[in-house]
Chain A
Amino acid sequence: MSCSGESMQDGEAAILLQGLRRLEQLGISKPVVGESLSSWSYRINLQINGPIFDHPKYVSDARRIEQSDAPDSSGIRFVDPDGVASNDWVDNCVQTLGIPRQWFECQFPFFERPYTPLRYRRAFCYQCLAQNMQATGLPAWKSDWRHLAQPMCSVHAVPLLDAPVSFALTLDHPARAFTWYWDSLHAKEHHERICNAWPLRNAFAFDVQRRIDDLREKATDHVERAQIDGFILSLMRAVMMPCLHYAFPKVVFSDWGGPNVYRRDAFYLNFYQEIYRATSIARVGALYLSGLLLGWVTEEEGISTSSEELFTPDRAWVIWRLMEKHFNLLTLLGDELRRYESRSLNISMLADIPRCWRPT
């Protein structure tokens, strides 16, 4: 078992090396560690004199999903510029440049974890952008920033900053985000406010984020990894419901994606969809609160953060009691969690399990 895994890894490394050599021969700059496909394609297209391929025209408008009167499942095709499989220009690149297709698949694996839809692809770490700017002359976008459960930069341990939603669908979004940071009047201030709103709780949230990564690494197969992701995502969704909004700092709501305000009766929409357009600092807060629910942030640690915002719950039972008041939330969360239970993460591991979930 482990032997085959190692040989797989060796094979991948060989493919990666082969691809990089080919890039060197062609004089094309290689992707930065963790760079997304769209970002790299935009960069190299700028560097080459006569562009080898047209700019990938993926989405002019994400609303325009193909429509037909007789819909069938095969007709649903949404081209994500960060996915290798859905982009036709990759095939052209394989044929004209002679870069092996496997290299693309190894270098730019498609998201295995729950990720932000393209329309809200806007969270970025400014320091990472600046470092790439120094190294390569162009900012590079990392694909990790689209993971929902990774709202903090894993290198610099700061909460990600949200660029305006209107950049999300553009081809040059890394460059736009970089210039926006310097041009806009409030971007830098906003970034500072985000970092300083909840310094201690941010640190705990980062702990939770790393702990999730550890759990995923220990998991035996991709099914268990998906279970873990689903479990965490459900907790985050529940904690971000309107009844718990008072627990978040005010900064969280300042740049919420999309113009539509919350509707009180859109319970399921709130639960399932709001996490995608929420700011990344909101997801940081959600991670902290789900850390409380999981017992990963202990009571003492929770109480020690009370100087940051007195009314934020610092113990798990406070959150559970609130959810018990909104009973349909507790029911829905229970359904979801039971669906994603696995060996490494299940309901019995939650702190102060609500009374109705306790085994009798």
Chain B
Amino acid sequence: MKYVFAWYWRPAFRVHLPGEYANYAMIVCLQVNGVTGEILSYSITFGDRITNVHRIPFVKHDSGELFAKTNALRMDYKKHLFRLETDSLRNSLGPVRFSRTDFNGDFERRWLRIFYDWQRHELEQVADPYNIMLGTLKQTLECAIRRMNSETLTQAL
């Protein structure tokens, strides 16, 4: 049995796509091998669907007795609203109360430290760290993953 965990992370910077005037927030998903701690792959999602969750409007208006039972059955969105904070790694994007693994603070700190300390290693020049381009983001991610994996490997040895 193999365990692969997904860590969702919202970086503090925005991505600037060439040819567009807008900047985008994104969520990076890291696929981590649960046994060895190796990062297997990553994916980048644009647009933050978590913040787009709203209450359905008619719930507010139909608060009469007729709908009481329906409302009772309806899920309370407020309870399950979930905001992915910047620079904290979460186990899932959905409204999940309990995660299967403990929150791994050590992993998070190591990852963020390795990712953001760009200049120490391969990628020396990031022009504007607050608005970076997609290609640069990919490169930084690849470099950071490579570094992280080599560090985990040496730690394991």
Report yes or no: B139 in contact with A267, Cβ–Cβ below 8 A. no
Interface centre among B127, B130, B138 (most CB of A within 10 A): B127
Interface segment among B57-65, B92-100, B117-125: the answer is: B117-125
A273 on interface, CB distance cutoff 8 Å: yes
* 21 pairs of residues in contact across A and B, judged by CB atoms under 8 Å: A61-B127, A65-B133, A71-B135, A73-B122, A73-B146, A78-B124, A80-B124, A258-B130, A260-B128, A260-B130, A266-B12, A266-B13, A266-B86, A267-B12, A268-B115, A269-B12, A272-B117, A273-B118, A331-B109, A335-B109, A336-B113
**Docked complex Cα distance between A37 and B113 (Å):** 33
B38 on interface, CB distance cutoff 8 Å: no
- How many residue pairs link A and B with beta carbons under 8 A? The number is 93
Report yes or no: A269 in contact with B133, Cβ–Cβ below 8 A. no
Report yes or no: B13 in contact with A62, Cβ–Cβ below 8 A. no
**Docked complex Cα distance between A118 and B129 (Å):** 13
Report yes or no: B109 in contact with A63, Cβ–Cβ below 8 A. no
Report yes or no: B142 in contact with A71, Cβ–Cβ below 8 A. yes
Closest Cβ of chain A: how far from B93's Cβ, in Å? Answer: 18
**Docked complex Cα distance between A354 and B89 (Å):** 28
Report yes or no: A273 in contact with B135, Cβ–Cβ below 8 A. no
Interface centre among A62, A268, A271 (most CB of B within 10 A): A268
Report yes or no: A117 in contact with B116, Cβ–Cβ below 8 A. no
- What 0/1 readout, one digit per residue, does chain B (122-157) give for beta carbons within 8 Å of chain A? 111111111101111011001100100000000000
Q: A265-B12, A267-B12, A268-B116 are in contact. Are A76 and B135 (CB under 8 A)?
A: no
Closest Cβ of chain B: how far from A87's Cβ, in Å? Answer: 15
- What 0/1 readout, one digit per residue, does chain A (70-92) give for beta carbons within 8 Å of chain B? 01110110101000000000000
A119 on interface, CB distance cutoff 8 Å: yes
Report yes or no: A268 in contact with B127, Cβ–Cβ below 8 A. no
A54 on interface, CB distance cutoff 8 Å: no
Q: Report chain A residues within 8 Å CB of B123.
A: 76
Q: Report chain A residues within 8 Å CB of B113.
A: 268, 332, 335-336
Q: Report chain A residues within 8 Å CB of B139.
A: 65, 71, 75-76
Closest Cβ of chain A: how far from B12's Cβ, in Å? Answer: 4
- What 0/1 readout, one digit per residue, does chain B (82-113) give for beta carbons within 8 Å of chain A? 00011100000000000000000000010011
The secondary-structure label for the interface of chain A is loop
Q: Report chain A residues within 8 Å CB of B117.
A: 272
Q: Which residue in chain A gives the minimum CB-CB distance to B135?
A: A67
**Docked complex Cα distance between A68 and B130 (Å):** 21
A109 on interface, CB distance cutoff 8 Å: no
A108 on interface, CB distance cutoff 8 Å: no
**Docked complex Cα distance between A273 and B118 (Å):** 8
Closest Cβ of chain A: how far from B117's Cβ, in Å? Answer: 5
**Docked complex Cα distance between A272 and B118 (Å):** 8
A300 on interface, CB distance cutoff 8 Å: no
**Docked complex Cα distance between A18 and B84 (Å):** 62
Q: Report chain A residues within 8 Å CB of B126.
A: 117, 273
Report yes or no: A71 in contact with B128, Cβ–Cβ below 8 A. no
Report yes or no: A269 in contact with B122, Cβ–Cβ below 8 A. no
Q: Which residue in chain B gives the minimum CB-CB distance to A72?
A: B142
A6 on interface, CB distance cutoff 8 Å: no
Interface residues of A in 275-316 (CB under 8 A from B): 276
Report yes or no: B116 in contact with A272, Cβ–Cβ below 8 A. yes
Q: Report chain B residues within 8 Å CB of A272.
A: 116-119
Closest Cβ of chain B: how far from A180's Cβ, in Å? Answer: 22
Q: Which residue in chain B gives the minimum CB-CB distance to A65?
A: B136
Q: A265-B86, A272-B117 are in contact. Are A67 and B127 (CB under 8 A)?
A: no
Report yes or no: B85 in contact with A265, Cβ–Cβ below 8 A. yes
**Docked complex Cα distance between A266 and B132 (Å):** 14
Report yes or no: B133 in contact with A63, Cβ–Cβ below 8 A. yes
Report yes or no: B119 in contact with A276, Cβ–Cβ below 8 A. yes
Report yes or no: B12 in contact with A65, Cβ–Cβ below 8 A. no
A112 on interface, CB distance cutoff 8 Å: no
**Docked complex Cα distance between A335 and B109 (Å):** 9
**Docked complex Cα distance between A76 and B119 (Å):** 13
Q: A73-B146, A267-B87, A272-B118 are in contact. Are A66 and B125 (CB under 8 A)?
A: no
